Amino acid sequence: MAPATPATARSLVLRAERRFKRARLYFGHGTDNARDEAVFLVFHALGLPFDCGDAVLDSPRTAAEAAEVEALVSARIRTRRPAAYLTGRMWFAGHEFEVNDDVLVPRSPIAELILGRFQPWAAATEVHRILDIGTGSGCIGIAAALAFPAATVDATDISAEALKVAARNITRHRLEARLQLHLVDLFPPPVTGAYDLILANPPYVPESERADLPEEYLHEPALALFAADQGLALIRRIFARAASRLTAQGLLVLDAGGTWPEVEAAFPELTILWVELQHGGDGIGIIGRSDLARLPLQ
């Protein structure tokens, strides 16, 4: 009998892709199809960069390496855990972050606006102070700090465990001097002045939709996903207090996800610019301080 042909990165990716399709996995945590999910897990197991060439893709792999791939692929199918939790990492706005199941998997389309430095809506030279509400892993606040190297950032979260992850990511990106974490509900104490940008990715999934979500989402912290009042509970509180924490020309950038039509309907008096995103996604709204100031303080 002829010896088995050694596996390669390419063959392992194709094999994993076929298995993921048969298993009918759900992809929504950094990838949106079986091929990309397979690449993410196989390359992680083999320690390969995503830009490796054909010579690397077609090099024989050892039995031990193939076994590492098998363990990850099988765990993804068996547990339905997002791939980012299995690998402990995810990319956001071009930067790598540690993640675990104490935080959401980074995926907000706010990343696109950060990479564009919020232009044309904000003048980059006038962004000095940024607030990241519901920071989780710290990905939005950290990416914003890296995009605005002269700015300081406050980041808040109600979860102490999430802030531990964020603290490690801050250290990883060497931002201890410019990014401060706050264990608070939404807004930090108003002791250091107003913000030029408030970035908010609050829980917005209606509680009524919990039973209908793919199993992958149920591995994420419910505190960071679900909100009462048809998903609007936290958004209402942010709207009510944001004006008092913004500079005169300050902006609130909100990720409302699929709940954005409900936000629009609930706040007809607000002028919300829903951004047309170039790289997919929806529900990113930009609101100026003057509009928010019309709402009653709650």
Gyration radius of the chain's alpha carbons: 21
Question: How big is the CA angle at 260 (ends 258 and 261), to the nearest 5 degrees?
Answer: 105
- 26 and 163 in a single domain? The answer is no
Q: How many CB atoms lie within 10 A of CB 245?
A: 23
Looking at the fold, whether 119 and 266 belong to one and the same domain comes out as: yes
Quote the pLDDT of residue 3.
52
Query: Which two tokens mark 293?
Result: 């100031």
| Cα–Cα distance, 146 to 222 (Å, whole number) | 29
Taking the C-alpha atoms of residue 122 and residue 252, their distance in angstroms, rounded to an integer, is 11
Residues 85, 272: Cα–Cα separation, whole Å = 34
Q: Is residue 26 located within the same domain as residue 57?
A: yes
For position 1, what pLDDT does the model report? 44
Q: Which domain holds residue 140?
A: 90-292
Number of structural domains in the chain: 2
Tell me, what's the pLDDT at 38? 97
Instruction: Kindly state whether residues 73 and 94 are assigned to the same domain.
Output: no
Residue 298 domain flag? no
- In a shared domain, residues 78 and 195: no
The pLDDT score that the predictor gives to residue 193 is 83
Tell me if the pTM is above 0.85.
yes
CA distance 193 to 207: 35
What are the average pLDDT values for consecutive 10-residue runs of the chain, which has 298 residues? Answer: 74 97 94 95 95 91 95 97 97 96 96 96 90 98 97 98 98 98 94 91 95 95 96 96 94 96 94 91 93 78
Q: Is residue 253 situated within a structural domain?
A: yes
* Residue 112 in tokens: 């696109």
Q: Is residue 4 part of a domain?
A: no
Pull the structure tokens for residue 188: 């930090």
* Last residue of one domain, picked from the residues 56, 87, 118: 87
Q: Which residues have CB under 8 Å from 52's CB, separation 6+?
A: 9, 43
The token duo for 263 is 């936000």
Among 87, 119, 141, give the residue marking a domain's end: 87
